Chains A and B, each alone.
Chain A
Amino acid sequence: DTAVSQTPKYLVTQMGNDKSIKCEQNLGHDTMYWYKQDSKKFLKIMFSYNNKELIINETVPNRFSPKSPDKAHLNLHINSLELGDSAVYFCASSQDLTSGYTGELFFGEGSRLTVL
């Protein structure tokens, strides 16, 4: 049973389209994250939710909108896709960040987005 699962694994689309990536975790964690990894492997945090509440919102274009319907799910919707959005997007989860947890993050396998 996969702990953190993301769908789709690959996504190829045209500029200007809108797309979504879904993430689910079955670890019982309270905090979930979205990271973006560029072609040079640099990893940048985008958002974090704790118990469905947004707690981290880095400088990300507002074309990106996360949604957490419950604490086990965190989806990422991207409007008006641009070439520069091509990257691998990783979902992750951890125990409650807001209560001072400083331990391990569990990552999904990533969703590779290619914008043509």
Chain B
Amino acid sequence: GNSVTQMEGPVTLSEEAFLTINCTYTATGYPSLFWYVQYPGEGLQLLLKATKADDKGSNKGFEATYRKETTSFHLEKGSVQVSDSAVYFCALSARGNKLVFGAGTILRVKS
């Protein structure tokens, strides 16, 4: 079946540090890949997505590249801010199938 594995948290960084959150997937066919973010006290919202191999999704300074050869979709940001503190979920969806989420990674950014 389809599954997503992402790095365990919490990840604690100082402001302006470089962020990487690893995500790998297992899927049949060619899924679409997503990163969702959940700010404290809120629901999840889409951060970025990529629908085919080598696509790069980007938003709010975050980016992730769909790597079919390594089945990965790692999230990166060059300089994090305190306001980026949230839970980040990697997810995949194959055509006609429900979204499958990873376990979530808590990010804490200190000033």
Contacts and interface: CB of A to CB of B under 8 A. Distances in A.
Contacts, number: 58
Contacts of A4: 43
A49 interface: no
Chain B, interface size category, equals 20 to 34
Contacts of B98: 33, 45, 48, 56, 97
A103 interface: yes
Interface string B19-58: 0000000000001101010100111111001010000000
Contact of A43 (B32, B41, B94, B104): B104
Interface residues of A, number: 24
A15 to B, nearest CB: 26
B93 interface: yes
Interface of A: 4, 33, 40-43, 45, 48, 56, 90, 92, 97-100, 102-110
